[in-house]
């Protein structure tokens, strides 16, 4: 089954404790992206990657890091989480041609205390 998976789905952590949210897709997509969703703001892009070893900032990159060592994986790293990073996070991927429809993972609900 074609899908984007994220882990963990739910996470409660404390300020300053480094964490990683994993994202994996099995569709051989070149493009992957991370978004955060906050009430009243829709989804905003954090980082994206056009292919292996190619990453770039989105609209709200502060406080986040990413890496793309393999085509299928695109982890999101919070080196020192803060309460304002409490949010719902989505990973997405798509093939870089045609309609460019993005397929989203199930989401990770993060709470930073």
Partner 1 sequence: AQKITQTQPGMFVQEKEAVTLDCTYDTSDQSYGLFWYKQPSSGEMIFLIYQGSYDEQNATEGRYSLNFQKARKSANLVISASQLGDSAMYFCAMRDTGRRALTFGSGTRLQVQP
Q: Which residues bind partner 1 (CB under 8 A)?
A: 31, 33, 35, 40-45, 48, 50, 56, 58-59, 88, 90, 92, 96, 99-104, 106-107, 109
Of 30 and 73, which CB lies nearer to partner 1 in the complex structure?
30
Q: How far is the CB of 87 from partner 1 (least distance, A)?
A: 12
Q: Across the chain, how many H-helices and E-strands are there?
A: 0, 11
CA distance 63 to 65: 7
CA distance 51 to 9: 25
Q: How far is the CB of 69 from partner 1 (least distance, A)?
A: 21
User: 111 exposed, middle or buried (CB, 10 Å; 0-12, 13-18, 19+)?
Assistant: middle
Q: How far is the CB of 65 from partner 1 (least distance, A)?
A: 18
Of 69 and 101, which CB lies nearer to partner 1 in the complex structure?
101
Cα dihedral: 14, 72, 34, 8 (round 10): -30
Of 3 and 15, which CB lies nearer to partner 1 in the complex structure?
3
Q: How far is the CB of 80 from partner 1 (least distance, A)?
A: 25
């Amino acid at each position: 089954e074609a899908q984007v998976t994220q882990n963990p789905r739910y996470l409660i952590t404390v300020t300053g404790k480094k964490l990683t949210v994993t994202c994996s897709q099995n569709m051989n997509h070149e493009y992957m992206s991370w978004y955060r969703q906050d009430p009243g703001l829709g989804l905003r892009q954090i980082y994206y990657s056009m292919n292996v070893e190619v990453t770039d900032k989105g609209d709200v990159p502060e406080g986040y890091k990413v890496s793309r060592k393999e085509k299928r994986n695109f982890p999101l790293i919070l080196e020192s989480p803060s309460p304002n990073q409490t949010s719902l996070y989505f990973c997405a991927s798509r093939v870089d041609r045609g309609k460019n429809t993005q397929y989203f993972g199930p989401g990770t609900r993060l709470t930073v205390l």
